[in-house]
Structure 1
């Protein structure tokens, strides 16, 4: 696949736009406070106000100096070919020019508050549209001093969290800025730093302290940029992808706008990325229409062409995720743990590589993709005939690939919608109508919905999609719906037929376990450029014109420099989890390569793992004989995945007699954020493109960044099937999953700044190991659907009962009290089982069955009979009678009704004999 001829020029435009506000970072860090060049740059780039004799937006002057400082780390764009910008060496000249040309990349980036040329106006327009500014708004902003709506200046202000501000009108709307309590700490991206803190704990009141915090992050940034491989500068788009992840790590908590009394609520990272996406698309539209002269600049200046649909918003959506991940075959349980993890990551890779295919076909850099989470992406492209033609071709290619490789079990739909700059503005013409940006979001949603209902264009194809399926080897043993293409003999003499897609899924699962934490995306046909090594694993299946390889040692391959030199390496992604030794979640998430947060935590066997006798039974897989296996092959080796059968045994506990107690059961936990679409639609006051992208990224970060880190440290026996976007599917020991739900709610509540309007619902199902994996998925989906039917949602369904999340701690306490009663009183299992019938009677009473009202009397009688056998002292019996009737009858059954089944079943599961 040859590179698009305009990819590098477009990437240069995007990079200029991306760096346009880097001066904000540098100024607040005091990097150039004593630089003699600063005064000259102020006169060149910053608006001057004669009335007060002062320069506003001084950061623009710092942007030029910052780019000069970073130049040695950047690809050569200033001396070599720099089209559409003019380089320092003029065409035809032998010597370097002493004067920076007007249309240089540096000037285009720095002049966004005083633009004069067409290229400068492209960057300036993208900057203003990303923020959703009307013209009058920006004129006021451009003339204002650096002070925020919170009363803090540009040094002291810390980034607000959008989560605290999301309040539908029914809840009184968003609070005023000075009433907002939460801020993000000014630190590089870490699992801990994505959580907001109270303003008093992270917002300095003195400039000196505030600037030193910026200086620390700047020092980290300038050191971290040196870890990007030098050899990757030879491919601008590849290097820019790495730099984007570095900028995310450095600028995710830096407020972008701090003037015109605005709210500092959008990060410098999100503003940079959306500005870059818009600038690239705008420039390409003008280039295609040959409108790059002074007249074009004038139209941008006066916004006379703001109704022209220059942009094309391209959406991708992976459909059939659950059916794809949980597909079953005759041999599925043999390597189910690797299969699930491999399929889940494969879904993420499908989406990433499909998006890359779109970007490269359109000649756009990675920053043109402003949304990418949970199988969905959104790309900002130029609305040209070439773009639409390419998208139609790619749609056919994607459909054909999924027809041939997945036989329609899954696919990626593409939809696109034209947009004008005016569609991205954040203010409505009147209070009674939606904003232009809100209307555009509604069009995007409708467009993607239409695409979902026209999957594969079956009507146009005559519904003859799979007529050439070859089942000569039989069905795939891992996915019984797909035809196998070969038969292999596994260790132990077992023969299995398989298809390439399933073999890749197992290979991906094995690569994760063995520490292959980087993914190479190679142009198809260039895979022979890979050096043969045990540290590289090439996947079989060609993917949309690319080949994928996993690697775990950059030193072995010379940081992949040979692949870059041959033009083989299109992307290199680091998808590793936070470092194992990062106990506090404080290590920055950047290691020199573009980061993709797609690898959920999975439990592995530790180096010195001990296997207690009698604890692990393997009824659901392997030999299937139910024996406790103690031979050398019984358990996975150190570093390998724990099997699902093992996870089902992890919550067993030893009783006083040294016997293992509890039920062997695996729990599935499926959940997602309630009413997320409504949150995006009405929750944000004056929504803008950058704000929308920021909220999407932050929603994803809890599940994709923090949750895996928390699981590894607090819930090491929980297995991630998928977690990202706004939803998650986890597997683990049944009791551990119950504790995890409560911990997730606690941390998610902190993450969304204690906003009561943002919450998630879950479904929990408990199954015996060995149950069909598709049955597990369907049961979890049904449980989640039951939670979603609860008014207001924020619900948990467990043991078939649906309760509010806020009631969950109470139910866990109830189960603990039953445990205490068993320990103190010897509460028999039969007595506890009998309580279930009293719950039934209480519910029948609520439905009008007058005979059921006798449940209290019957419970009191049964309790009295129990105590007569167990307690000899009469006074003690009366005391216990009162205790049991209060805790069980009143606090339990009478108060909770059906919800009391949850602590009852929890107690019974804990104490069942193993």
Structure 2
């Protein structure tokens, strides 16, 4: 019975507003005759859903008694079984709580009707100042399915596209729904809804000129989470008997919005940096991708375990990426006790496997329905408080070991005879690599070759061959011969493939690999055979979630916001790197691929290793693409650290050096990149949307590139000499070393003399293009901002490009 009622609640909640999707697909002449409840009801009957679900879809709103469709559609006019009446009220309450203030003061009473309106990006509501500033409200997501990677664009550009888009999406949804109708459950339906309703607005009214900004998918998902948590709280904490659900009218209990019936649960994995980056260079590139993926699988498995052990639903998973997660749970004694027990169990497993390296911090705080739906509620405040709670716990991690397992923590260690050449951990037996690193190397290799990962059923794990074990769950990259051994399929590449045979979940691996070996990667560099290391993350992320949405911080919006960030780093970015091979800074038009390896990308940050020149160009590609994705919002930016490194450096040195540069960028007021030890605002690197303020690094390099020709991973000098570059570099260094600018203007005559000699030399040979080249470069260098900030990096990049090349 428990599973049956759970499934009915979840399917009812996930499909309660399916009529809104259908409504958008109707021809205009039919739209005025039907309400979304009626459309949903008829479709639910057609596909064979149960009476309870059909009724919940039909009657999940209260109508006025003078409404002509009151008897047929209103919740209050229902005279059927008590348990169905309670279900309808539960869906109504959860729908209203999920919607919060998303529809203004009432969808049916304000604004004007726009069935073909596009979905405004959630980023439009973000403001880190006192007032709502940043992105203009006239932006919408492109009229594309989520798998086709829609970006934020001006609404005028999408006029006329959404009507056809909605019709087409509904047609495809119906076709795919039929394939799983017989096997319908929450996980299959969630994936299908994400695929087809993540770009569909939740409501159809444009209120005060403001386009709808909440997707139907996130509204349905949060409604389901709220409904199941509410049911659990009412039956366990108030009724103490599930049978009362079937024979008592529970309206007062259901609609109570001041009781703290919910828990917002947050988890954060400590030790990620040490686990991934504390490696030597030998085979580091092979193992680090495996380690990064392992941590993602660890967090996925931990969340799945919590969902199962706490009897939650997958709609309750608000966010899970970047080593952290948020869940919505019922505030019951059983849940609280189980949370503490599960935290201990998971950390005991981590300690046994990895010593003190990895620790899962877990915290929770209570919320009521008012907090979830109202601008005066404390949802954003609690979100931020949980971040603080997790930080404090991570500062005191493993405390329980001191009192409960003192002997385990401080028992004499075995003599270490041999250390792993990759991670430095003890090696038992033959060989020079520890068992963990061997597993991680194999994991990284198989990951690069696979499109799916199979989670095996617990009872089948002993018989089926597994590639990896995580928290007593077993996974295989090879499909088992016996299909009954499969619990779930994780989709690594084709992310929205719904199956009637298995439960499927999109699990993008953020995969982009150019070369597996460090030395071979360095050999692909243009000129200087060195690596480029890049670390980037979203600025002010904590503030964005804790106060960025101002009075629009509803549960659905926070869920949407977190998922959009994660999708960009996990899904958009790797595919962008595959498609956009550009050299905006080095101007190497002969490059055929982005020679970088994406080590990690997810949540809100990334780490990549590539050739020094590709990594530099890719830094701008990522920044400009992220800004485009977010509608060029002024409060949404990235900071980055970039370093050039030798392939023989220990991996932890590479990671630390890039991290130091990233901190310099943050200290520069954010929205910056630090290259060669010098932090620069991104608008000093290049321009976005032709919004030019002054010369950029790209402008300087564009002039210099006129004197270069690229062949066979080399840049050959056509006009100037290496000696000219080196002399100019010396003068730039002398200028920047002086603290007193007024005492250093004597450098300008030397610069003039250097250029005059070069111009005289090329003039004698009647080389007009060379004369033009020197004059353009000289006019740039006379501007102090260029001289002080840009010319040094530009000359160093040029020096690196021509290493190994020869002057013609």
Q: Give the TM-score range, shorter chain.
A: 0.7 to 0.9
* Structural mapping, 1:188-267, within 5 Å: 188-193=145-150, 195-204=151-160, 211-225=163-177, 233=183, 239-259=185-205, 261=207, 263-267=211-215
Most deviating of 814-823 and 310-319: 814-823
Superimposed CA distance per residue, residues 705-762 of structure 1 (whole angstroms, 9 cap, x where no aligned partner): 1111111223542211111111111111111122212222222222111222211111
* Structural mapping, 1:112-191, within 5 Å: 112-114=60-62, 115=75, 117-133=85-101, 141=106, 144=108, 149=111, 151-153=112-114, 155-170=115-130, 173=133, 180-191=137-148
Answer whether contact 2:118 2:141 (CA < 8 A) is retained: yes
- In the other structure, the counterpart of 1:808 is 685
State the Cα distance separating 1:270 from its structure 2 match: 0.7
Answer whether contact 2:299 2:324 (CA < 8 A) is retained: yes
Q: In the superposition, relative to structure 1, how do residues 858 and 522 fare at CA in structure 2: closer, same or farther (>3 Å)?
A: same
Does 2:45 correspond to 1:68? yes
* Structure 1 unaligned spans of 5+: 39-53, 73-77, 79-99, 429-434, 488-494, 531-536, 564-568, 579-587, 605-640, 653-661
State the Cα distance separating 1:894 from its structure 2 match: 5.3
Answer whether contact 2:700 2:794 (CA < 8 A) is retained: yes
Partner SS state of residue 653, structure 2: helix
Answer whether contact 1:123 1:275 (CA < 8 A) is retained: yes
Q: In the superposition, relative to structure 1, how do residues 199 and 263 fare at CA in structure 2: closer, same or farther (>3 Å)?
A: closer
- In the other structure, the counterpart of 2:804 is 913
Q: In the superposition, relative to structure 1, how do residues 186 and 811 fare at CA in structure 2: closer, same or farther (>3 Å)?
A: closer
* The one of 683, 695, 704 aligned to 1:818: 704
Does 2:561 correspond to 1:670? no
State the Cα distance separating 1:132 from its structure 2 match: 1.9
State the Cα distance separating 1:418 from its structure 2 match: 1.4
Most deviating of 836-845 and 272-281: 836-845
* The one of 809, 829, 833 aligned to 2:726: 833
Superimposed CA distance per residue, residues 482-501 of structure 1 (whole angstroms, 9 cap, x where no aligned partner): 344543xxxxxxx33422x3
Answer whether contact 1:14 1:279 (CA < 8 A) is retained: yes
Does 2:523 correspond to 1:649? yes
- In the other structure, the counterpart of 1:618 is none
Partner SS state of residue 113, structure 1: coil
Superimposed CA distance per residue, residues 892-911 of structure 1 (whole angstroms, 9 cap, x where no aligned partner): x6534043221111000000
Does 2:754 correspond to 1:862? yes
* Structural mapping, 1:483-632, within 5 Å: 483-487=426-430, 495-499=431-435, 501-515=436-450, 517-530=451-464, 538-541=466-469, 543-551=470-478, 557=481, 560=483, 562-563=484-485, 569-576=486-493, 594-603=504-513
Does 2:672 correspond to 1:795? yes
- In the other structure, the counterpart of 2:36 is 59
- In the other structure, the counterpart of 1:761 is 639
* Aligned mates of 1:864, 1:187 — CA distance in 2: 56
* The one of 306, 316, 320 aligned to 1:372: 320
Partner SS state of residue 333, structure 1: coil
Q: In the superposition, relative to structure 1, how do residues 32 and 171 fare at CA in structure 2: closer, same or farther (>3 Å)?
A: closer
- In the other structure, the counterpart of 2:387 is 445
State the Cα distance separating 1:682 from its structure 2 match: 3.2
Q: In the superposition, relative to structure 1, how do residues 300 and 399 fare at CA in structure 2: closer, same or farther (>3 Å)?
A: same
TM-score, reference length from structure 1: 0.75
Does 2:619 correspond to 1:728? no
- In the other structure, the counterpart of 2:268 is 317
Answer whether contact 2:380 2:546 (CA < 8 A) is retained: yes
* Aligned mates of 1:804, 1:31 — CA distance in 2: 50
Superimposed CA distance per residue, residues 466-519 of structure 1 (whole angstroms, 9 cap, x where no aligned partner): 4468757855626535344543xxxxxxx33422x333322221212222x222
* Aligned mates of 1:247, 1:70 — CA distance in 2: 16
* The one of 651, 663, 673 aligned to 1:785: 663
Answer whether contact 1:863 1:881 (CA < 8 A) is retained: no
Answer whether contact 1:721 1:731 (CA < 8 A) is retained: yes
* Aligned mates of 2:757, 2:705 — CA distance in 1: 20
> How many residues in Structure 1 have an aligned counterpart in Structure 2?
746
* Aligned mates of 1:667, 1:279 — CA distance in 2: 49
Superimposed CA distance per residue, residues 780-801 of structure 1 (whole angstroms, 9 cap, x where no aligned partner): 100100000012x210111111
* Aligned mates of 1:711, 1:210 — CA distance in 2: 28
* Structure 2 unaligned spans of 5+: 63-74, 77-84, 582-592, 687-695, 710-716
State the Cα distance separating 1:871 from its structure 2 match: 5.3
Does 2:544 correspond to 1:679? yes
- In the other structure, the counterpart of 1:625 is none
Superimposed CA distance per residue, residues 200-240 of structure 1 (whole angstroms, 9 cap, x where no aligned partner): 23243xxxx7554322111211223356597xx3xx7xx53
Partner SS state of residue 146, structure 2: coil
* Aligned mates of 1:885, 1:174 — CA distance in 2: 36
TM-score, reference length from structure 2: 0.85
Q: In the superposition, relative to structure 1, how do residues 896 and 266 fare at CA in structure 2: closer, same or farther (>3 Å)?
A: farther
* Aligned mates of 2:279, 2:181 — CA distance in 1: 42
* Aligned mates of 1:461, 1:481 — CA distance in 2: 29
* Aligned mates of 2:522, 2:770 — CA distance in 1: 41
- In the other structure, the counterpart of 2:623 is 745
Answer whether contact 2:491 2:508 (CA < 8 A) is retained: no
* Aligned mates of 1:170, 1:886 — CA distance in 2: 45
State the Cα distance separating 1:267 from its structure 2 match: 0.3
* Aligned mates of 1:71, 1:282 — CA distance in 2: 27
* Aligned mates of 2:45, 2:407 — CA distance in 1: 59
State the Cα distance separating 1:133 from its structure 2 match: 4.6
Superimposed CA distance per residue, residues 335-373 of structure 1 (whole angstroms, 9 cap, x where no aligned partner): x33312111111110110000010000112221211122
Q: In the superposition, relative to structure 1, how do residues 794 and 877 fare at CA in structure 2: closer, same or farther (>3 Å)?
A: closer
* The one of 23, 26, 29 aligned to 1:30: 26
State the Cα distance separating 1:881 from its structure 2 match: 10
Q: In the superposition, relative to structure 1, how do residues 472 and 708 fare at CA in structure 2: closer, same or farther (>3 Å)?
A: same
